[in-house]
């Protein structure tokens, strides 16, 4: 029999068998302090009012719910609705979490912020809120990701963050996270660790979910208002799992399918599907599914999207998987790219490659459900940051504008 679903972490910070705190003693006190500040803030109407004002005036919430009419027609199945987190300030859902944690850091009296970043979206969101609140931002980023996500590296610089390049491992998100945690352990008295996803030790998975749940709360109300019903399925991409859990959570008690889409990479051994291809282990302070060998050695991942290139997944997703409340499926690099182009050409929206994985799966689900169905997709971010990766893989898209060669002239002596 499957275990029952729980939506509150227990006294040890676990969702069922997953989560908890696997950290050095020095960090334990800081996590206790953060947990107390979270409880206090969530019960404080002043915090709620500050969040609401920032959401409205700074982040640009609420974000629209958009019926993708031409995509729907082209797929020929259920209606496909997009929750437009790509239109939030800085171009992705990451800002929802960063704003909330910056307010918490201020409450804790911590003026130095460390963060890890993969695609650079969380680094940009962190640099943004640090500028806004006058905090010092130190962002760890793998060198391979710095190469893949050049525009975000420049943005972080403009916003005044200190960027720390990480050469260890494959130079991607896992390595950046290791370094950020190392920094935090050494500086915990003065520093808040602004983790970018619903992962890490308790209370982070719970905290980040609550800060991202604004996505699902808005989408659920908008859906009811626009269509008079709830969707049949809610689909979101899963890296660490923050945009997905934020979208899923408000639908937890509804008769709605929750579909998390992991990065399937090239479809062979190299992928980043932690639930689909991983095993239960401990990574970055909590127990969850991890892409690791039988000795617990973390494997190198691959995805075309830097934001999904993470060998772990937030513990609440592991729990939703084990209880059967949510399903987790992979989409490959190629299928995500196809969905990316279709959204560009059919809707005039350039989606993030991460979000393109969710679009690819939403098309399949829409076909399964047929024309009476309704699918809600989390469009977690915009694709401006990804155009370099797409060109690298497919060549330049602007073949039609190559200039005509100069007409040859006869040389008159």
Ligand X SMILES: *Cc1c(COP(=O)(O)O)cnc(C)c1O
Task: Choose between 61 and 77: whose C-beta lies nearer to ligand X.
Answer: 61
Does residue 259 contact residue 329 with C-beta atoms inside 8 Å? yes
Task: Choose between 222 and 303: whose C-beta lies nearer to ligand X.
Answer: 303
The structure tokens listed for 319 are 């729990």
Instruction: Give per-residue burial for 148-175: e unless 16+ CB within 10 Å, then b.
Output: bbeebbebbeebebebeebeebbbbbbb
Shortest Å distance, C-beta 200 to ligand X: 11
Q: How many CB atoms lie within 10 A of CB 25?
A: 6
Which position among 35, 85, 94, 286 bears the catalytic label? 94
How far apart are the C-alpha atoms of 5 and 16, rounded to whole Å?
A: 8
The structure tokens listed for 24 are 């050095």
The structure tokens listed for 390 are 């797409």
Shortest Å distance, C-beta 83 to ligand X: 12
Shortest Å distance, C-beta 197 to ligand X: 3
CB-closest chain residue to ligand X: 381
The structure tokens listed for 377 are 């997709």
Q: Three-state DSSP class for 259?
A: strand
Say whether 83 is catalytic: no
How far apart are the C-alpha atoms of 378 and 356, rounded to whole Å?
A: 10
Kindly list the residues in this chain that would bind ligand X in the complex (CB under 6 A): 92, 94, 119, 121-122, 197, 237-244, 307-308, 352, 354-355, 380-381
CA atoms 334, 335, 339, 340: torsion sign: negative
Shortest Å distance, C-beta 380 to ligand X: 3
How far apart are the C-alpha atoms of 363 and 342, rounded to whole Å?
A: 11
Task: Choose between 188 and 211: whose C-beta lies nearer to ligand X.
Answer: 211
Shortest Å distance, C-beta 154 to ligand X: 17
Say whether 385 is catalytic: no
Which position among 274, 305, 355, 380 bears the catalytic label? 380
Say whether 303 is catalytic: no
The structure tokens listed for 197 are 């996803």
Task: Choose between 119 and 235: whose C-beta lies nearer to ligand X.
Answer: 119
What is the C-alpha radius of gyration for the chain, rounded to an integer number of angstroms? 21
Shortest Å distance, C-beta 243 to ligand X: 3
Which position among 116, 316, 331, 347 bears the catalytic label? 116
Task: Choose between 88 and 375: whose C-beta lies nearer to ligand X.
Answer: 88
Task: Choose between 322 and 354: whose C-beta lies nearer to ligand X.
Answer: 354
**How many Cα atoms sit within 13 Å of 37 on the Cβ side?**
21
Does residue 377 contact residue 82 with C-beta atoms inside 8 Å? yes
Would you name the residues annotated as active-site residues?
94, 116, 380
């Amino acid at each position: 029999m499957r275990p029952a679903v729980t939506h509150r972490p227990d006294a040890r910070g676990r969702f069922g068998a997953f989560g908890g705190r696997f950290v050095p003693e020095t960090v334990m006190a800081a996590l206790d302090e953060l947990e107390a500040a979270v409880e206090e803030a969530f019960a404080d109407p002043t915090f709620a009012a500050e969040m609401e004002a920032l959401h409205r005036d700074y982040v640009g919430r609420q974000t629209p719910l958009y019926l993708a009419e031409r995509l729907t027609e082209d797929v020929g199945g259920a209606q496909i609705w997009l929750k437009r987190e790509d239109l939030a300030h800085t171009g992705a859902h990451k800002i929802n979490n960063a704003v909330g944690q910056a307010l918490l850091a201020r409450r804790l009296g911590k003026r130095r912020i460390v963060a890890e970043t993969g695609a650079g979206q969380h680094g940009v969101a962190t640099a943004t809120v640090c500028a806004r609140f006058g905090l010092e931002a130190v962002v760890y980023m793998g060198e391979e990701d710095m190469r893949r996500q050049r525009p975000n590296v420049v943005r972080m610089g403009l916003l005044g963050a200190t960027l720390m390049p990480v050469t260890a491992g494959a130079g991607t998100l896992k390595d950046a996270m290791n370094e950020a945690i190392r920094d935090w352990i050494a500086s915990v008295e003065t520093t808040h660790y602004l983790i970018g996803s619903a992962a890490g030790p308790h209370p982070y998975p719970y905290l980040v979910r609550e800060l991202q749940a604004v996505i699902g709360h808005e989408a659920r109300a908008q859906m009811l208002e626009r269509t008079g019903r709830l969707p049949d399925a809610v689909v979101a991409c899963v890296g660490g799992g923050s945009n997905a859990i934020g979208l899923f959570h408000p639908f937890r008690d509804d008769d709605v399918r929750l579909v998390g889409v992991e990065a399937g990479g090239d479809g062979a051994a190299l992928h980043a599907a932690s639930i689909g291809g991983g095993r239960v282990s401990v990574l970055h302070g909590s127990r969850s599914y991890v892409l690791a060998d039988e000795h617990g050695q973390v494997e190198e991942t691959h995805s075309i999207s830097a934001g999904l290139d993470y060998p772990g997944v937030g513990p609440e997703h592991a729990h939703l998987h084990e209880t059967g409340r949510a399903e987790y499926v992979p989409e490959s690099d190629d299928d995500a790219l196809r969905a990316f182009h279709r959204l560009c050409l059919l809707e005039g929206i350039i989606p993030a490659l991460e979000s393109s994985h969710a679009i690819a799966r939403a098309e399949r689900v829409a076909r399964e459900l047929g024309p009476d169905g309704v699918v809600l997709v989390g469009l977690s971010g915009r694709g401006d940051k990804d155009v370099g990766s797409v060109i690298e893989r497919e060549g330049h898209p602007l073949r039609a504008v190559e200039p005509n060669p100069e007409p040859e002239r006869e040389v008159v002596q």
